[in-house]
Structure formats: C-alpha cells, structure tokens
Structure 1
C-alpha cells in the first residue's frame, strides 16, 4: 500500500530515474513485506535552486546529487525492518547507479489502513 515520492535535482536520464524506482520497489518488497504489484510512485525533478538538502546535517556529507525518497505506508513495521530497508535501498542504489550512500535521504510516513482509497471512492482496507 505504499505511495513513493522520489525527488532529485533535474538532469538525470530516464534510465537513472527508472533504476531508482526499481531499487525502491525491490527494497520495499524484500525488507518491508510490501506485496507484489503494489507499486505507486512519483518521480519529480527540481531545479538546483529549488532542491535543498543540507550538505552537512548530522555530520553526513551530502552532494548536490542527493535523492530524497518519501514513502507513505501502513503503520506496523518494526525498527529492525526499517533499518534493513534503509540499508537495502542505500546498498542497491549504490551498486546499481553509483549513488553515494550519503546522498540518500529516506523518510517513512506511517498511516492507518483506513487512510487509503485505491479507486472507486472506496476505502478498500477500512
């Protein structure tokens, strides 16, 4: 049931953006038990002047190539699952597109199941 929003600085190739979505989906299905075919994602590119990621917050050296991934999903995953997901995604993006682990910012937003409608004006999981 997640919806994924991926934000990055403009100028990346379609293959780069596709690789990010594929790696996010792979990490979600393997580490967070997201069901197959539960794939709802939006990739947005921004002018460098409209994309702010502090370059040193918490002592992490971020480059202008930072990628922000925000996932809204059902409440219920424990901290170990989330840690496994964070690592799997950072490792997957590093291996596939060379994204520095320091340049991946992830935010999980947990909501109750009744907060979803997948179509037809119906709360399918309420």
Structure 2
C-alpha cells in the first residue's frame, strides 16, 4: 500500500491535479503491480515562498511547474522496477497534464513491511 504525496505550486486547476494523481497511480499499477483500488494520495499546493527547489541542480533546468512526488512503499521492489516506475511516471505526466520530464521529481522511500503502523493488525494486508 504505497502512500504518495504530490507537491506543486498553487494555482493549477482541479483537472490538472487529477491528471497528476491518475498518472502516478497508473504508473504504480503498471510497474509495482499495485491494485486499482490501492490508492492513497495527498496533493499539496504550495505558494512560491513555501515551494523551494534547486532550479539548476545537477544540470537539470526546472521551472515553476515542478512537481515533487514522494512515494513511501514496502522495500519489496528491485532496482529495475524502481527505474521503470520513475520513467513511467515521467511519461504519464508528460502526456497528461503536460508536465515537462525535467519538472518531475520523484523520491521513493522504502520501508520494511513490519515498519507500517496500521493498527488493528492490518499490516498483513499491505502490498
């Protein structure tokens, strides 16, 4: 059960934000085999003062349309699956809503299954 946070500058319309969620979730389903209804996403819109990033870090030219995607998932996926996820997210978001690949920043945080704290013994159902 990945938990995804999507951060972007405030001001994008609802269909744009919805396309971000759909694009990330489609990539998770395809590359991480996440079930269709396993969707836990938080979208945060930030004003310019609270959305700080390196516009030229590592030679990548980022714009005000930067989208930061942080995914917390079990550490059950290999390096190739992780690379495929990053590429699929960038492809999906480039197609819809039209985010430049240079403006897609993905941070994957992996945790051991026993680290999930669902309460009520639900951790056994995490994917």
Give distance in 2, aligned partners of 1:113 and 1:36.
20
**RMSD (Å) for aligned C-alpha atoms:** 1.4
Give distance in 1, aligned partners of 2:13 and 2:105.
20
Name the structure 2 match of 1:72.
Answer: 72
Name the structure 1 match of 2:22.
Answer: 22
TM-score, length basis structure 2: 0.92
TM-score, length basis structure 1: 0.93
- CA spacing shift, 1:10–1:4, aligned 2, 3 Å: same
Give distance in 2, aligned partners of 1:40 and 1:9.
21
Greater length-normalized contact order (CA 8 Å, ≥ 6 residues apart): 2
Give distance in 1, aligned partners of 2:23 and 2:15.
12
Segments ≥4 residues shifted beyond 6 Å:
none
Extract unaligned runs of 5+ from structure 2. none
Deviation string 1:57-114 (CA, Å, 9 cap, x unpaired) is 1100000110000000000211111111111110110011110000000000001112
Q: Mapping of 1:1-126 within 5 angstroms?
A: 1-118=1-118, 121-125=120-124
Give the length in aligned residue pairs.
Answer: 125
1:67 and 1:105 in contact (8 A); partners too: yes
- TM-aligned CA deviation for residue 46 of structure 1: 0.4
